[in-house]
Amino acid sequence: MNFNLDAEQQLLQDSVRRFVDRDYSFEARTALVKARTPARTAHWQTFADNGWLAAALPESCGGLGGSIVDTVLIAQQLGRGLVVEPFLGCAVLAAQTLSAAGTPAQREKWLPSLADGSRQFALAYSEAQSRGFPDSVELSATATADGYVLTGCKTLVLGGANADGFIVSARVSDADGITVMIVAADARGLTRRVLPLHDGSFAAELTFDGVRVTRDAVLGEPGGGLAALRHGLAHATAALGAELVGAMEKAIELTAEYLKMRKQFGVPIGSFQTLQHRLADMAAELELARSMLYALLASLENDDAPTRARTVSQAKSLIGRAARFVCGQAIQLHGGIGMTEEYQVGHYYKRAVVADVLFGNSDRHDAACAAQLEKDLLQKDNHA
């Protein structure tokens, strides 16, 4: 896989960087967070006008026909600015799941409005017992003469605060496996509770109390949704990893500047060897995380499904731990000012903490890797 950016990708990266630097200052972000409202901001239309929402969607459905690399380039720059708009939840997780699950007619119906920003969908797959993994689903869909009746709850729905509709995973009564279907946000019997997260963004908790949908709400075939969920989550994990890489880059830049400016005993504290070593450790963790992100991108493009799943878990665990270390060290090296709400660096640590919970935390993914390794070893012994 070629990791050198072509001219179009470089322009894409530069356009997002300019937006963050010009229109998404820390002060402007702070005003959005302090408003404590999930209202859809004007920035979302900016995302659409610049093609960022359409970057990795097929051209036949209003997209630009790009790849996961384009998504990662956008997410990395948004991570530098701690952007709170639901790019990850709506433009990546929901859009990629719909793209993978839907029939050609369904993709042509729904994806253009996601690409132009006129509609937001959110993926409602996580439940209390699932811990971020898509294969544990208890929400039930009971078959009726003309559709299904949905009963159950979904938690931590990214982008769900303002979504016009939800892509919901369910166990249907007339099919094995997991089914995904579209449910309108204003459907009767659906209750949405907005949840403010620690990093200033929002999620939603959904309760389905006899929500009725027609059979054409099902994306693809009943029982065939798990592969699409894993596809969407793999893309979202890569985007989240890129966002954290961008956050680590900015945290290190802020720390390096502070060490040059802050003085003790008449000299910059950056001249102290111990602090130089700690900054070097932060840079090393950043590069490990960046390399893991590259490995994930290569795996998504080249490997079979089991290998991709293992690499997704490895990336989610390693990058998440690296981000918590780097951003935590950034606070430590800033001293007391790093702990204040008014200073930028502490907010990168908040984002790293929230990111670890999304899509399964590091411990859960470590356990998944261990289980897969044990399974592979048992198969190898049986063949021997």
For 176-186, how does the pLDDT look when each residue is reduced to its tens digit (9 = 90+)? 899 999 999 99
Whether residues 197 and 103 fall in one domain: no
Q: Which of 78, 103, 120 is the last residue of a domain?
A: 120
Q: For residue 110, give its domain range.
A: 7-120
Whether residues 29 and 58 fall in one domain: yes
Whether residues 237 and 196 fall in one domain: no
Q: Which of 182, 199, 217 is the last residue of a domain?
A: 217
pLDDT of residue 153: 97
Whether residues 246 and 363 fall in one domain: yes
Whether residues 243 and 372 fall in one domain: yes
If phi > 0 it is left, if psi is from -120 to 50 it is alpha, else beta; for residue 208 that is: beta
For 345-375, how does the pLDDT look when each residue is reduced to its tens digit (9 = 90+)? 999 999 999 999 999 999 999 998 998 888 8
Is residue 2 assigned to a domain?
A: no
Whole-model pTM: value is 0.94
Whether residues 32 and 81 fall in one domain: yes
Is residue 303 assigned to a domain?
A: yes
Is residue 313 assigned to a domain?
A: yes
At 38, the pLDDT band (50, 70, 90 cuts) reads low
For 257-269, how does the pLDDT look when each residue is reduced to its tens digit (9 = 90+)? 998 888 778 888 7
Q: Compute the average pLDDT of residues 228-252.
A: 97
Whether residues 160 and 105 fall in one domain: no
Is residue 373 assigned to a domain?
A: yes
Q: Residue 2: is its pLDDT beyond 80?
A: no
Q: Long-range contacts for 161-164 (Cβ within 8 Å, ≥24 apart)?
A: 161/38, 161/86, 161/192, 161/194, 161/195, 161/202, 161/203, 161/204, 162/38, 162/39, 162/40, 162/86, 162/120, 163/90, 163/94, 163/120, 163/121, 163/122, 163/204, 164/119, 164/120, 164/121
Whether residues 250 and 208 fall in one domain: no
Q: Long-range contacts for 7-11 (Cβ within 8 Å, ≥24 apart)?
A: 9/69, 9/70, 9/73
Q: Which of 120, 151, 181 is the last residue of a domain?
A: 120
Is residue 305 assigned to a domain?
A: yes
CATH number at residue 190: 2.40.110.10
Q: Compute the average pLDDT of residues 148-176.
A: 93
pLDDT of residue 39: 63
Q: Residue 313: is its pLDDT beyond 90?
A: yes
At 300, the pLDDT band (50, 70, 90 cuts) reads very high
CATH number at residue 247: 1.20.140.10
Whether residues 262 and 358 fall in one domain: yes
For 58-100, how does the pLDDT look when each residue is reduced to its tens digit (9 = 90+)? 999 999 999 999 999 999 999 999 999 999 999 999 999 999 9
Is residue 96 assigned to a domain?
A: yes
Is residue 1 assigned to a domain?
A: no
Whether residues 102 and 150 fall in one domain: no
For 121-134, how does the pLDDT look when each residue is reduced to its tens digit (9 = 90+)? 999 999 999 989 99
Whether residues 24 and 104 fall in one domain: yes
Q: Residue 5: is its pLDDT beyond 90?
A: no
CATH number at residue 87: 1.10.540.10
Q: Compute the average pLDDT of residues 15-39.
A: 87
Whether residues 202 and 230 fall in one domain: no
Most confident of the ranges 172-176, 226-230, 273-277: 226-230
Is residue 184 assigned to a domain?
A: yes
The count of domains in the chain is 3
